[in-house]
Structure 1
Amino acid sequence: MTQSVVVDFNNLPEGCIANILSFTSPRDVCRLSLLSSTFRSAAQSDAVWNKFLPSDFHTILSQSSSLSLPSKKDLFLYLCQKPLLIDDGKKSFQLDKVYGKKCYMLSARNLFIVWGDTPRYWRWTSLPDARFSEVAELRSVCWLEIRGWINTGMLSPETLYGAYLVFKPNPSGFYGFDYQLVEVSIGIAGGENRKRNVFLDAERGRRLRYQIVPRRAGTGIFNRARFLAPVEAPPVEDNDSLDLQHPKERADEWLEVELGEFFNDGQEDKELEMGVYEIKSGDWKGGLLVQGIEIRPKRTPIN
């Protein structure tokens, strides 16, 4: 015959409670800190928040200007709320506030942009609302190609990541992207990349609900021309061959569009490659302001 044992956690030593909390998540720690003064005190412990910081956070912090905060909790919260510029200002580092996973953004200067250093096609400018000192401004090209790479060893292991182009239209003029599909890709460099099509024109892309489909008509020349008419297209959101996505507004008032997702198993270091291409139409386009490519964890539905 067994007897149930009821444990009053409040009677446990604070160090023991802190050790238990370190096996949960940052969100759980904040919730559990409301249970009692003992839990609240344990939830402030450096031993708890040190577990939520990445093991290489000292190396990451060394790439930025000196940062002095009174506790590990303060450091964690700071890195969740404010991107830290690293790599001479060409990248930013941040933590996901729910699970403490690593997030990076590659600045436009850290990307490969075809003709990016040719003033006729692109120019580099500064914007007050940008994270980095420079953004790339597309003046006019017929061949749009942007690529970026990041080593998977920099990312959190056992984590599903999404990659996002962060951009916005130039208020002084944005053209060539209306109804124009742009190809994006993600995958291990040198391997097979997953590709999809997206829109960079947020407004017109969102309104694209029709496609030209020839109706049945007579065989004469005039009949064929006269009876072409817009027919409502089937929904494309779940079509694997045309996984069309539209830009979404971010909290910082820039736009982003997902390039794809990648599961980092953490087994070995590889180069993750991401790309944005519009090289098929031959149409001239311009007015795109590119801040960079962000790589961040994707939340599960329960979050």
Structure 2
Amino acid sequence: MGTSWSEEQKGSSERQDQPVYHSESDTISSQKSDINTPVPITRNNNNNSHHLNEPKESKRVLLKLPHNCEAIINDNSDSPIDKSSPEKVYEQLHAGVYLNGRRKKYWVDKKGNNCFMVFANDLKITWAENPTYWYLHTAQTSDHGQISVAQLRNVAWLEVHGRFHTKNLSPGVTYQVAFSIMLEYTCYGWELPVNFRLTLPNGSKQEHKENFKEKPKGEWLRIPVGEFKASPENVGEIEFSLYEYQGGSWKKGLVIKSAIIEPKF
């Protein structure tokens, strides 16, 4: 039998989905800028009804790049970032950047906060190395392109774990961790509820159960695991888990796409 964190894992199954992230509404200066340099934004305040002989006032505001953005991209990005203009940098950050061989995705929301996806091939799945139990493969999706998804064929011991370091999360922001999953129409064996657990760097845990038997079938679902506030006092790895192995019943028809770590609004 495989293990949780000590198990081997592969990547796999199919599907799509994810929110659309919009660009900033401010007009960004087209000056060339290094990615770690604050980006200047120019706003003009025009008042044509008074003081017509006075020059137009121009206010320059510095727009800083997101927290730890340079390190995230330089150390992990799958492809080079176009730094020819601030517009290009922000366009790519809002669209999302793939990391670590498409095992993760990084993007910035409209408030400038860092967001991440951990795809199935970067999760630790018990028995994932055995194709009798899990079907791990690359699937084409509309929002993410080619990604790895994991399709459960048949197991009695369901156990999935993921880890992520909080150093790349925006400080002071409350984050929610959730699994993106689908239950196929042919699924069975979900009489007992599935356990979800979030373990924070300080060792505290958040746990609850979800009844998969009552969930909609054939569509992507976001199942919350827990939430926490990113802070310097609680820096380290979080662990998010999905498991059910007490009942001993065989289960089929679960598709796992990713774990999502993004601000809770």
**TM-score relative to the length of structure 2:** 0.71
Asked if 2 retains the 8 angstrom alpha-carbon contact of 1:152 and 1:266, the reply is no
Q: Does 1:120 align with 2:132?
A: yes
- How far 1:156 sits from its partner (Å)? 1.0
Q: 1:38 aligns with which of 35, 44, 49?
A: 44
Cα displacement (A) at 1:77: 3.8
1 CA distance for matches of 2:212 and 2:170? 29
**CA spacing shift, 1:83–1:127, aligned 2, 3 Å:** same
Aligned equivalent of 1:90 = 103
Is 1:175 the counterpart of 2:188? The answer is: yes
> How far apart, CA to CA, are the structure 1 residues paired with 2:165 and 2:43?
43
Q: How much has 1:84 moved relative to structure 2?
A: 1.2
Counterpart residue number, 2:119: 107
> Which residue in the other structure is 1:135 paired with?
149
Per-residue Cα deviation, 1:219-253 (whole angstroms, up to 9, x for no partner): xxxxxxxxxxxxxxxxxxxxxxxxxxxx9x9xxx6
Partner Cα separation in structure 2 for residue 73 and residue 119 of structure 1: 45
8 Å CA contact retained: 2:96, 2:107: yes
Give, in angstroms, the shift of residue 70 of structure 1.
4.3
Which residue is equivalent to 1:193?
205
Residue 55 of structure 1: how far off its partner (Å):
4.0
The root-mean-square deviation of aligned C-alpha atoms, in Å, is 3.0
2:228 to 249, 262, 267: 262
Percent identical among aligned pairs is: 27
> Would you say how many aligned residue pairs link Structure 1 and Structure 2?
215
- Report the structure, 1 or 2, having the larger strand content: 2
**Cα offsets for 1:99-156 (capped at 9, x unmatched):** 2111111111111111111111112122221735321111101111111111111211
> Contact conserved, 1:153 with 1:268, CA < 8 A, in 2?
no
Aligned-partner Cα distance in 1 for 2:243–2:129 = 18
Listed one character per residue, the Cα deviations across residues 40-93 of structure 1 (whole Å, up to 9, x for unaligned) are 9979x7x633x1x2242222222220121543244224322x221111211110
Larger Rg: 1
Structure 2's unaligned 5+ residue stretches are 1-22, 28-41, 47-56
Checking the alignment, whether the CA contact within 8 Å between 1:103 and 1:296 is kept in structure 2 is yes
Q: Secondary structure at the match of 2:80?
A: coil
- CA 38–87 in structure 1, closer or farther in 2 if over 3 Å, else same: same
What TM-score, normalized to structure 1? 0.63
How far apart, in 2, do the equivalents of 1:42 and 1:290 lie? 51
